[in-house]
Amino acid sequence: METWLPFAFESANLQSVTLSFTWEPADRFDQQILEPMLASSKSLRSVAISPQLLSASTLKLFSKSDSAQSITVLNISSHYTKFNFEDLVVSLRNLPRLETLTLPWPIIFSTYPSTVQTDSASPVPESASADFDQPHVLHFSHCEAIAVSCPNLTEIHFFVEPDVPSEEDDYHIFREAEEEETDTDEDDDISPFDPQNFDAENDPDQWFRVKRSQSFKNGRLVSVADSPCLHVCTVFSDTCDAGFDHAIRLFVLLNQVRKHTGFL
Amino acid sequence: MANHSFLLPELIDAVFQHLPKWDLYRCSQVNREFNAHAIPFLYRVVEFYFHAPYLQQNAKTKENKVWRQFCRYPELLSYVHEILVEVIHNQYQIQDNIQIDVETTPCFEKRVEYILRQGRNVRTVKMRDFNRRVPQLGASHHLVEFGGHLVGLDVRMTRAAEHIFNVLADLERYREITLDLWNVKPQHIRLDGDQDFLLRLQDKSQVVNLSTTGFDSPSKCLLLQQFSKLHRLCLRDHIDTPTSETLDFETIFENTPLEYLQINVSNIESLPRTIQELRVGCDRVGKPQNFDSKDLAGSQPLTTSKRPCCDTRKDGNMAPVCFRIR
């Protein structure tokens, strides 16, 4: 196995960096490329990275780097994720100047291709369901913590699914059986998503889509049981981009969260 | 609207800079004030096309109209900031055998020289042949008459670029130039590539922004040392570094005030210490990055891509990344 050595990076003037390493193993991307850059930079403002797998260890790099404290823009896109919202909250504590944040929604994928397997002692875990991907659930406490850590951040943009082929149902993802989902401790306090519970024939198209998307959001992605505030502090967006693929996103409105903190 | 001046004229420019030419043309007819603001944007970019016949007449007509305006109102040349030259292949006639077209712009050399000399604000030259890499659209299918000979569109493009370089070298005053080149080299003439072609530019210190194809190995990248005033550099081709070579950008650009670097690599030794904005990608070997003209203007938002299937990644054409320590 090839030994990976840190990249000799000595450009302290770096202000903006965009890294796109689609074929790179995750821990190698962290240790050899991203970590030396964060360590050497003194005035980093904007970071856009596109690793194959966004892991908790990648996020952790931002929590322990001094240069991360000057970052105002952080855009991350990845094909696979291996982190949860607690990891994100911890990392963002070290980014007090953050103004723009774009992330993939943390999802436990049913399968990870071999190329994203790391060589470390903790291999990528398999999800509980072998057939379907499972999204992590966002709680109001997560939003509160982020709102406090990043006072200049007004919105978080999550890409739930970057592009769903136009010929597929928008909400085919995360379609595991309801009974399986409600058995878990983590997800039993969120509303069920019932795509059949709408009168599609009588509802106007748009209204039908709005109701279905809200049900999907509350049933799969956010926990409105512990705080109904999340229902209005988050906006679920299902748009058709220029490439005619659906982009499913969720926006967290942190100013709303700040208003509701302490009340709900 | 026609009788009253616009209350916030500075907003007009802010809006007009994003409008396409046809909308600008219509805005120019609103009133005198709109006309005065729209005209500079209308003539900001002068376009030339070497193209297949199905577009020839239309483009030729437009080009002649613009040229007539320049002849009647030479002051318009001061608004020109950019010269754009593109090759458009005829994808609908690729099944046919060799086609011979007449020279599409017989006055190209004369016109572009006049614009470069008189248009003192011209700072950007873009020359692009996007379809060069599509095999069925090979430029050899389309011949044009040039200098008494039949040549391919690729050769015609190269001759045009050489002429522009010669004019730039002869300009009386030093002028900082942005060069944006995409596959500007003749296919059938044995050259090392675009980088060799670029070296024919006599005064390389003129070039402060460079975006180009053709630099796909460390030895070719070494040639960039001659561009001593480069501030922004975008190398579109994947730089494949064999184990016997190293890609030491810190040494290459040791005396260059490089601030922006955009590369696609599999192996790199170091980066310039002066760099402020860095874009590094690692795609498949030989696949050019799909960056548009905004590359040199600034950052673009990171785009998300479709989750690839495992089979794709098992493709043996992947580029292993290896960053070495010095």
For chain A (length 264 residues), average pLDDT per consecutive 10? 62 86 68 82 90 88 88 91 92 94 87 57 46 81 94 93 55 50 44 54 64 79 83 80 68 91 70
**Per-residue tens of pLDDT for chain B, all 326 residues:** 445 566 677 889 999 999 998 899 999 999 888 999 999 999 999 988 876 555 666 777 788 889 999 999 999 999 999 999 988 766 555 455 555 555 554 578 889 999 999 998 999 999 988 766 555 544 445 677 777 777 777 778 888 888 888 888 888 777 889 999 888 775 555 545 555 667 777 778 889 999 988 888 888 888 888 898 999 999 988 888 777 777 888 888 988 999 999 998 877 778 888 889 999 887 654 344 443 334 443 333 333 333 332 222 233 333 334 433 22
Among all residues of chain A, which has the CA nearest to that of B289? Answer: A20
Residue in the structure block whose two tokens are 């996020």: A59
A6 touches chain B (CB under 8 A): yes
For residue B323, give the nearest of A13, A32, A50 by CB distance: A32
Residue B126 lies in a domain: yes
Phi and psi torsions of B148, nearest 5°: 85, 5
Among all residues of chain A, which has the CA nearest to that of B285? Answer: A23
Buried b (16+ CB within 10 A) or exposed e, A113-142: bebbebeeeeebeebebeebbbbbbbbbeb
Residue in the structure block whose two tokens are 């291709």: A113
Query: Which of A:16-35 have CB within 8 Å of B?
Result: 16-24, 28, 32-33
> Which value does ipTM take for this structure?
0.73
Residue B270 lies in a domain: yes
Cβ contact B225:B202 at 8 Å = no
Q: pLDDT tens digits for A198-210?
A: 555 555 666 666 7
CB neighbour list of residue A262: distance below 8 Å, 6 or more residues apart: none
Listed in order, strand segments (DSSP E) in chain A are 16-21, 46-51, 53-55, 73-76, 80-82, 100-104, 107-108, 134-135, 155-164, 234-240, 246-253
Enclosing domain of residue B191: 47-294+304-323
| Structural domain boundaries in chain A | 18-166+235-260
Contact A79 B318 (CB under 8 A): no
Residue B223 lies in a domain: yes
For residue B319, give the nearest of A23, A49, A79 by CB distance: A23
Predicted pLDDT of residue A241: 56
Residue B169 lies in a domain: yes
Interface test with B, best of A13, A52, A73 (most B CBs within 10 A): A13
Residue B7 lies in a domain: no
Cβ contact B114:B83 at 8 Å = no
Q: How many domains does chain B have?
A: 1
Which residues of chain B neighbour A162 with C-beta distances below 8 Å?
Answer: 304-307
Element containing residue B264 per DSSP (H, E):
strand B260-265
Contact B276 A114 (CB under 8 A): no
B276 touches chain A (CB under 8 A): yes
B326 touches chain A (CB under 8 A): yes
Q: A146-150: which pairs have CB atoms within 8 A and are 24 or more residues apart?
A: A146/A88, A146/A89, A146/A92, A146/A252, A146/A254, A147/A254, A147/A257, A147/A258, A147/A261, A149/A89, A149/A92, A149/A93, A149/A95, A149/A96, A150/A92, A150/A95, A150/A96, A150/A98, A150/A101, A150/A254
For residue B280, give the nearest of A2, A19, A104 by CB distance: A19
Instruction: Say how far apart CA A94 and CA A68 lie, in whole Å.
Output: 7
Q: pLDDT tens digits for A26-76?
A: 667 777 788 888 888 888 999 999 888 888 988 999 988 888 899 999 999
Cβ contact B150:B144 at 8 Å = yes
B324 touches chain A (CB under 8 A): yes
B282 touches chain A (CB under 8 A): yes
